[in-house]
Structure formats: structure tokens, C-alpha cells
Structure 1
Amino acid sequence: MMDWTISIAILVGGLIFSMGIGLPVALGFFMINVVGVYLFMGGPNGIDQMISNATTAVANYSLAPVPLFLVMGSLFFHSGLARRVLDGIDVLIGRLPARLSYLTLTSGTVFAALSGSSLANTGMLGSLMVPEMTKRGYKKHMSIGPILGSGGLAVIIPPSTLAVLFGSLARIDIGGLLVAGLLPGLILAILYAILIYVQARLDPEAAPSYECEILPAAQRIKIFCRDILPMVAIIFAVVGSILAGFATPTESGALGIVAVVILALLFKALDMRAVTTAIADTARVTGMTFLLITASSTFAQLLAFSGASSGLVRWATSLEMGPTETLLIMALILLVLGMFMDQVSMMLITLPLFVPLANSLGFDMIWWGLIMLLMLEVSFTTPPFGLLLFVMHGVSPPGTTLPEVAKAALPYIACVFVLIGLVIIFPSLATFIPSLM
């Protein structure tokens, strides 16, 4: 058997090279898999094994929440429920300095708990809020930054489709990983609010104040009870059912869809256009994701079969580095990869190597998984290829450049790093709520 360093160089290096020359990620995985099968698994017989792995990888019950959460989030946005929540929060928020930045942050945090999709959150908030903030004279870092920050919250606040994928691929309890992000997600939203406050105090002209109508208290209570409070039913259906222990993540996804449909019917907001759009969006994203998972399952087996995974674990554990240093190196690898590829591809490449290493170091896997998810959140906004940067650039005012969008994201990335430090120092931030399940 060849040395593990040569094996890992062929497999991982070949995969990164295929992406570098512009091959689609799935095609790059399949190409390297065929090469690896002939090198490590006996040629044609290995091809049969690769085909068998493909069906086994996606016929996995733990992946069922992915399309369910996607349908729920898409129905929530396309039915108009999201706009109703946004308008309700707008009425309640009052005359705060930088009120539109706070409105964006509050709405984004609520949407993260109701949709599970960072891209959808960013796209909707960007298209709705940026024109209004630009008209009011907000500088770009005060309009674009909060959207990028709050958009990324959907990575860790349940229901997160990325957390479901991560838990399934890493063999971590998905229910525990989903609810582990609840408390850190709220802390991150508070850090973002503090950041907005500081930015507004340092440069009041960045978020000019303006007169807005303040409704009587009775009318605001009525709007809260009518437009916002009912949405708690969706959060309870998904998060509450998992915490209470009477629903699995898959069942909670189904309950979430039922809650969205009932609310949309009550508000007379459900039509066939919303339903067909939600199903089409879900089919497209799920098909792409499952194709990547199909390709990566053989890739993970090749890493194990060739000795690359075990060799890397032996090498890493032989170094005079503590668990924290090793964890930081994993985080740094994700940070670098996030500059060049999407989150699913990053998980598929790194988890076959990271998971055995994390287990060998004795990490609490829910705690470790949450830190990795936070790094994936950072990678959404790291230039030059952060996906949220492109989404935000697409809905920004004409003349906005990608470097301007990336610059607006930097303080919010710093807040995520602060949270990662807090989670490392105080692991109970991640493990407390799962321990109650």
C-alpha cells in the first residue's frame, strides 16, 4: 500500500485541481473517485462498489429534514408571511438611531428561526431593505453589513439545513446539533446589535435619523398579536417539538410545513404560485445537494481505504499540539477553503478527515460541530467567493462593488470570531440546551 501522504495528495489534491480548472464540483468528485477506485479498490470491482455506495449514501433517513426545511422556508417567503413579519417589526421598533439597521437585524434573526436558509434571508432582506436604506441616506456599511450578518444566522439558528447536512455527514446527533445553535445564535445577534450601536455612535451620519409614525400602544399590541405572535407556532413546531422530545428532526420539518400552510391559509396568503415555486426551489437545491453527497460518499471511503484518514489522525496526534490548537487549525482550513468554494463542498472534502481526528481528540461532537458550523457561517462572507457576497451584490444599488460589500461584512465576521472564542472558553454555551433534551 502506498504511503498515506501520497494517497491524500492524489485524492484531495486532484479534487482541488479539478475545481481549479473549472469542473463542476460533482463532476470533479466523480472523476477523482474513478481514479481512486482503480488505484485503491481493484478497478472494475471497485466501480460496482462505488455505484452501490451512491444509493446507500442518499437513502439515509437522517437527510430527510433537508427537503422538508427547504419547503417550509420557501413557502414562508413566497406566501408573503415573511413580509407580514417584516412590516410588523417595522411598526414595533420605534424611533431608534439606525432603526433600519436594527429592523434588518431583528427581522433577519426571526427569519433565521423560520426559514433555515441564509441565501433566502439575504436575498429577501437585501431586495426589501437596501433600496429604503439607500433612500434614507444610510452608508453602505450600515445597510449591507446587517443584512450579511443576520443572513448568516440561519446557519446555526434552527431549523438550519446546513446543520442537518453536517450532522448527517459527520454522524452527529442532528437534533442536538440543531438546538445547540439556539443560544449562540441569540448571543451573536446581540453582538451584532452592539456593533450597530457602536457604528452609529461613532458616525451618526452613517445612519441618519428620520421621522416615522409612532402608533398608539394598543394598536402596536394588536399588530404584534396579529402579525408576529402567530409565527411562534412555526418556531414551536420545529424547535419546540425537538426540545420536548416528541418529534425527530424529520418529523419537526413536517410539522413546520404544516404550521406554515395553516398560517398562510388563515392569512389567505397561500396560492398555487407559492406552492409550485417552493416545490421547484426545493427540488433543485435537494437534487444538487444529494448529487454531491452521492459523489462524496465514495470519496470518504477511498480516504479510509487508502489509509489517508488513519495516517492523518496518527500524524496529527503525534504532533505536540493540544486539542485547542488542532481545533484552531481545522477552523483555519475552513476559513481558507471558504474563500474558494461553497459550504457543502467544504464539508464533503474536510469531514472525512476532520471527524476521525475530532473523535480521537475526545471532543464533544455537538460542541465541535457547532464551532465548525460557525466557521462555515464565516465562509459565507469571505472574499473572493463568499456566496452571500454575490447575493448581496446582486441586490445592492447600481455602482456598488464587490469589495465594498466584502468590507461591510468584515466587522460582522469579527463578531463571529468573538463568539467562537466564547464557545471554546465556555463549552456550555453549545452543550447546555442539548443536555436538556
Structure 2
Amino acid sequence: MDWLFPFAVMVSLVLCLMGLGLPVAFAFFATNIAGLYLFFGGSVGVAQMIANFSDAVATYALTPLPLFLVMGSLFFRSGLGDGVIRALDLCIGGLRARLSYVVLAAGAVFSALSGSSIANTGMMGALMVPEMLKRGYKPRMAFGPVLGAGSLAVIIPPSTLAVLLGSLAQIDVGALLIAGAIPGLLLTLMFAALIFVQTLIDPESAPQYATERPARGAALKAVAVNIVPMGVIVFLVVGTIILGIATPTESAALGCAGVLGLLLAYRKFRWSVLWEALDDAMKVTGMTFLIISASTTFSQVFAFSGASAGFINTIVGFDPGPYTFLLLMILVIIILGMFMDQVSMMLITLPIFLPIAMHFQFDLVWFGLILLLTYEIGFTSPPFGLLLFIMLGVAPKGTSLSTVALAAAPYIACTLFLILLIILFPKIALFLPGLL
């Protein structure tokens, strides 16, 4: 059991430091330094950690990350999303709970244009929740669809979390991005069915009210003007990868160029918007690269100390079967998701889970997508789900965390059901990557 001491030191120290409120990157750096002195030769190990920095971030697979961040920030800061919401509202018409469907459809579109769950939830919550509550929607019908739609950005390409996971786990980033398209569409349809069932069981949860019928052709014109151009951006990002025309990096650059073209076409381009988008991307990219540098050294120390191999050999020795292990991994991530953000969970679990997945010869794209969906659940898991607190920020004063969490619970159940479907029918995840 020589591996148990380094395993316990590394894992418990990083968890304790994050529990004390230390930023993720600094918690990992502090743990790395302690591990390097204990297991890696002291100052020689620290010098090796510093040398790792450039190698860790100078990875071509990471290049789409800042580009996708710029694209999403340009889209949200420019106000292009307002036209999409108006067009979808005209299309859905007088359907019961129409605003819930508008939120869901707009969230799916925005996910394909931004890759950011936080931005999705913040924008949709601020725009739609006050209107829905004013119309008499019950909290679960106002908060739930926004939280569900926000979480779609984790798997619908271009997902920034998928780029980060692919880079850390050395999974084909393009394949992982494309793998989320069909599950993302399925999850959107599940959420729509959930809204329908909720209104069927409790019609008063979303009171129906008279809506103005749009003039003939107005809905068609709104779609042509506001939604079809967004479809071009989606093709530039996703379609070019599927067709083999562009790499993920090239498709991200095409997406940025496409959004800039739309800003010019709609006369929404301002230098201040461009500067703010670049500033947003720089801040997030800088912190992400710092975290990746820390994670790379953490994985190396973990392996060099024997903790990784010892843990895997011990666990595999129980031999409960590959799918039992997979379910245990999902359970661990769900529990961690109640207390940690997605990047922290990724950094802690990947060095442990990835070798086990490789031992059982799991398809890494399939396995990566299951991890992404499980990480997504953490966004809306109480007590520390990030999207829950974003929703509390836009909800009326006095709204409790339990109210928001209960609204999110059925959407979490839908995600768990989708994970089960992907485990039983891997082609759901692997069909599109197989076309690459």
C-alpha cells in the first residue's frame, strides 16, 4: 500500500485548500509544490514544474478556447440575442407555457453560438424570468427552463468545457465537440417534453393568455432575418468540422468572423463591444491556462509517486466490471458537483478516472461525453451549483435556494436519463464523430 500515502496527501490537500476558499489554480500549485518536495526531488521538481508551464499551454488543441470565448462574448454583448428571442416568440404563438418554450429554444440556439452556460443562464434569466413571473408562471416553470437551457451549452458545440476536457484528457477535441450535437438535441427535446407534461399535470403553472396574432408572413420574416443567419454561424462552427473542411481551431476562427459579419450587417458593431469581448476572453483564458499548467504537474506528480498506478491496480483488483466502475465514477462526480465547480472536478477526477477508462478500453470520446453530461449536473446541484446562484441573482427578492433547486430537479433527471441512454446506446454519441 505504498501508493496510499501520496494518494491521500495529494487529494486531501487540494480538497482542503479549495475548501478554505483558495482559488483553484493556487490550490493545485500549493499541492504540487508539497508533492514535489515529498515525492519528486524537492527544488529539482519545482524547476520541472516551471518548465512544464510552456509545454502545458502551448497545445494546438487549446487554440479554439479563446476564439469560442470571443465569439460568445461578441454575441451576448452586442444584443444579437434579442432578435432571436422575438422571432422564436412569434413562431411559438399562443401555445400554453409559450415563454418556457421560447426560453428553451433560445437557450439551444445561444448554446450553439456561445458555448457558455453561465452567459446563457444570466442572459435568459435577466430577460425572461421577470416577464414569466409577471404573467403568472409558477417558479418551477419560470426558473426550470432557464436553468435547463443554460446547461445545454456544456454539450452543444461549441462547448468551451469540451475543449478543456479534450485538451486535458488528450481526446480528439473535434470529435468530442461534434459528439455533443445529437445528445444536445435529444436533451432539448426531453426538456420540451418535460414542460409539456408539467403543464398537462398542472395547467395553472403556466396560465394561458391571449397573444396578438402576427401579420401573415411576419413570423417567417422574423425567422429569415434573425434565426437563419445564426444557422450560418452554427454551420461555420459545427458543419465545417463534420464535413472535414476545417479543424476546431479554424472553425472557431470562422465563427468569430461570422459573428463580426453579423454585427456589421445588423449595424451593431462598436469598438467598445469588440474590446469588451477580447477582455472577457483574455481573463477567462488566462485563468484557464493557469489551471491547466497546475493540472499538468499534478498529474505528473500523481503518476511519479505511484499513487495513480497503485490506486488503479487496487480498484481493478476488485473486478466488479467496467460498467460498475463507470456508474461509480458518475456517482462520485455527482457528489463532488454539489460542492465544486466543473473545472475543479475535472482537474481532480481526470487523473484518477482516465487511466481506469483506458484500462477497460472505453471509447474516450464516448467516455468524455458522459463525463461532460455528469459535470453538467453539478451546475444545478444544491447547495453550491453555480447556475442556481446566477438564477438567485435575477430572481425576485426573497426567492430561496430550495425553490430554485426544486425547479432544476426534473431537468437533472432528464440529464441522468440521457446518460443512461448513451451508456446503453453508444451510437448516440459516436455516430457523428464516426463521420469525421
- Per the normalisation by structure 1, the TM-score is 0.98
What is the CA distance between 1:374 and its match in structure 2? 0.2
Gaps of 5+ in 1: none
Cα distance between partner residues in 2 of 1:237 and 1:391: 30
TM-score for the superposition, normalised by structure 2? 0.99
Which AA in structure 2 matches 1:63? L
Counterpart in the other structure of 2:151: 152
Partner of 1:424: 423
> CA shift at 1:48, angstroms?
0.7
CA displacement at 1:422 relative to structure 2 = 0.5
Residue 327 (structure 1) aligns with: 326
Report matched runs for 1:26-37 at 5 Å.
26-37=25-36
Output the CA distance in 2 between the equivalents of 1:247 and 1:296: 29
Structural mapping, 1:26-105, within 5 Å: 26-105=25-104
Cα separation, 2, equivalents of 1:402 and 1:67 = 33
Query: What does residue 107 of structure 1 align with?
Result: 106
The equivalent of 1:280 in structure 2 is 279
2:241 is the counterpart of 1:242: yes
Show the 5 A alignment for 1:307-318. Answer: 307-318=306-317
Q: For residue 22 of structure 1, report the CA deviation from its aligned partner.
A: 2.0
Runs (4+) of structure 1 exceeding 6 A deviation are none
Question: 2:140 — aligned with what?
Answer: 141
Alpha-carbon offset, residue 213 of structure 1: 1.2
Report 1:245-256 matches (<5 A): 245-256=244-255
Give, in angstroms, the shift of residue 290 of structure 1: 1.1
Identity of aligned residues (%): 56
Q: Pairwise mapping of residues 24-423 of structure 1 onto structure 2 (< 5 A)?
A: 24-423=23-422
- The 1-side partners of 2:164 and 2:69 are apart by 12
SS in 2 for 1:370: helix
Q: Kindly provide the CA deviation profile for residues 318-364 of structure 1, in whole angstroms up to 9, marking residues without a partner as x.
A: 11311111001111111111111111111111111111110000101
Equivalent AA in structure 2 for residue 317 of structure 1: V
SS at match of 1:31: helix
CA distance in 1: counterparts of 2:101 and 2:396, whole angstroms: 20
Letter in 2 for 1:43: G
Conserved 8 A contact 1:130-1:397: no
Distance 2:319 2:368 in 1: 24
- Counterpart CA distance in 1 for 2:346 and 2:220 is 44
Residue identity matched to 2:310: G
CA distance in 1, matches of 2:350, 2:239: 29
Amino acid corresponding to residue 218 of structure 1 in structure 2: G
Measure, in 2, the Cα distance between the counterparts of 1:115 and 1:232. 13
Q: Contact between 1:77 and 1:83, CA under 8 Å: does it hold in 2?
A: no
In structure 2, how many angstroms separate the alpha carbons of the residues matched to 1:297 and 1:110?
34
In structure 2, C-alpha distance between the alignment counterparts of 1:161 and 1:217, rounded to whole Å = 40
Aligned AA (2:186): I
Once the two structures are TM-superposed, the CA of residue 21 in structure 1 deviates from its matched residue by 1.9
1:38 partner amino acid: Y
Q: In the aligned structure 1, how far is the partner of 2:127 from the partner of 2:22?
A: 35
Structure 1: how far apart are the matches of 2:274 and 2:83?
18
Residue of structure 1 equivalent to 2:432: 433
Q: Separation in 2 of the partners of 1:316 and 1:433?
A: 33
How far off is 1:217 after superposition? Answer: 3.6
CA drift of 1:373 comes to 0.3
CA RMSD of superposed structures (Å): 0.9
